[in-house]
Amino acid sequence: MITENGHPISSSPREVQAYMKEANERLLGYVEFPFRTRLSFRPLIQFWKRKRKSAHAAEALLAREIIAKVEAHPELLEPVDDYTLLETHRGTVELLLAGLLPQALMDRKLTMISKPFDLRGIYFSPSLQELMQTGSVSFGVGKMDDLAKAISLTRASSMVLNRFYGQQVKIDPAFIFTVRPNDSALEQYYKSDLNIQFVEIVKRRPLKELSQKDINRLLSNIYDQRLWREMIPPENFEFHGVVRSNLIDVTEEESLSRLKYKLLERDAVVNRENILVLQQILRSYFQIQDLRLGLTAIDYPVENSVAHKYKIRHDFLADQHPNLLDPENAGSSYEKVCRFNDTLIVEDLTQVSNPTPIEVDLVNSGIRSLIVSPLTDERNRIIGLLELGSPRADTFNSLSLLKMKDILPLFCIAIERSREEIENQIQAIIREAYTAIHPSVEWKFVETSFNLLERREKEGPKAVAESISFDEVYPLYGQADIVGSSTVRNQAIQADFIDNLNRIKEVLSLAWEHLDLPILHQYLRQADKCMRDLGQGISSDDESRVMEFIRTEVHPVLDQIRYEKPELARAVDRYYECLDPVLGIVHRERKSYEDSVTKINEVIADLLDEEDRRAQRMLPHYFEKYKTDGVEYDLYIGQSLLKQERFSKIHLRNIRLWQLLLMCRITRRMAELNPTLSTPLDTAQLVFVYGSPLSIQFRMDEKQFDVDGAYNVRYEIIK
Residue 637 has pLDDT above 50, yes or no: yes
Torsion sign across C-alpha atoms 323, 328, 332, 338: positive
Q: Is 673 helix (H, G, I), strand (E, B) or coil?
A: helix
The pLDDT score that the predictor gives to residue 520 is: 85
Each residue's pLDDT tens digit, 24-70: 554 444 446 789 999 999 999 999 999 898 888 888 898 898 889 88
Instruction: Check if the beta carbon of residue 387 is closer than 8 Å to that of residue 316.
Output: yes
CB-based contacts of 90, cutoff 8 Å, min separation 6 = 2
CA torsion angle 411 416 417 419 (round to 10): 120
Instruction: Check if the beta carbon of residue 353 is closer than 8 Å to that of residue 377.
Output: no
The pLDDT score that the predictor gives to residue 2 is: 36
- As a whole number of angstroms, the distance between CA 17 and CA 8 comes to 7
DSSP symbol at 208: P
| Beta strand 622-628 pairing with 630-637 | antiparallel
User: Considering only 322-331, 595-604, 651-660, which range has the smallest mean pLDDT?
Assistant: 322-331
The pLDDT score that the predictor gives to residue 651 is: 95
Burial of 604 (0-12, 13-18, 19+ CB in 10 A): buried
The pLDDT score that the predictor gives to residue 9 is: 30
Adjacent-strand bridge partners of 707: 696
CB-based contacts of 290, cutoff 8 Å, min separation 6 = 390, 391, 392, 395
Q: What are phi and psi of 702, to 5 degrees?
A: -100, -10
Q: How confident is the model at residue 13 (pLDDT cuts 50, 70, 90)?
A: very low
Residue 1 has pLDDT above 60, yes or no: no
Element (H, E) at 138: strand 135-141
Q: Is 134 helix (H, G, I), strand (E, B) or coil?
A: coil
Return contacts of 120-127, CB within 8 angstroms, 24+ apart: 120/3, 120/6, 120/17, 120/20, 120/21, 120/24, 121/3, 121/20, 121/245, 122/2, 122/3, 122/39, 122/83, 122/86, 123/1, 123/2, 123/3, 123/97, 124/1, 124/12, 124/16, 125/101
Residue 658 has pLDDT above 70, yes or no: yes
Question: Which has the higher per-residue pLDDT, 28 or 375?
Answer: 375
CB-based contacts of 318, cutoff 8 Å, min separation 6 = 296
- As a whole number of angstroms, the distance between CA 246 and CA 114 comes to 11
Each residue's pLDDT tens digit, 433-489: 556 677 888 888 878 877 777 777 788 777 777 888 899 999 999 999 999 998 999
DSSP symbol at 301: S
Element (H, E) at 601: helix 588-618
Question: DSSP string spanning 542-567?
Answer: HHHHHHHIIIIIIHHHHHHHHHH-GG
CA 396-399-402 angle, 5° bins: 115
Q: Which of 540, 541, 537, 555 is nearest to 501 (CA)?
A: 555
Question: DSSP string spanning 422-479?
Answer: HHHHHHHHHHHHTSPPPHHHHHHHHHHHHHHHHHHHHH-TT--PPP-EEEEEEEEEEE
Each residue's pLDDT tens digit, 106-163: 677 888 899 998 877 888 888 888 777 765 555 554 444 445 667 788 889 999 999 9
Each residue's pLDDT tens digit, 195-248: 889 999 999 999 999 999 999 999 999 888 899 999 999 999 999 999 998 888
Residue 574's alpha-carbon distances to 449, 509, 519, 520, in angstroms, are 61, 15, 22, 19
In CATH, the architecture of 253-427 is 2-Layer Sandwich (3.30)
Each residue's pLDDT tens digit, 511-568: 888 887 788 888 889 899 999 888 888 887 788 889 899 988 999 989 888 888 888 8
Q: What are phi and psi of 179, to 5 degrees?
A: -120, 125
The residue extents of the domains of the chain are 3-179+187-247, 253-427, 485-586, 593-718
Q: What are phi and psi of 443, to 5 degrees?
A: -60, -35
Adjacent-strand bridge partners of 197: none
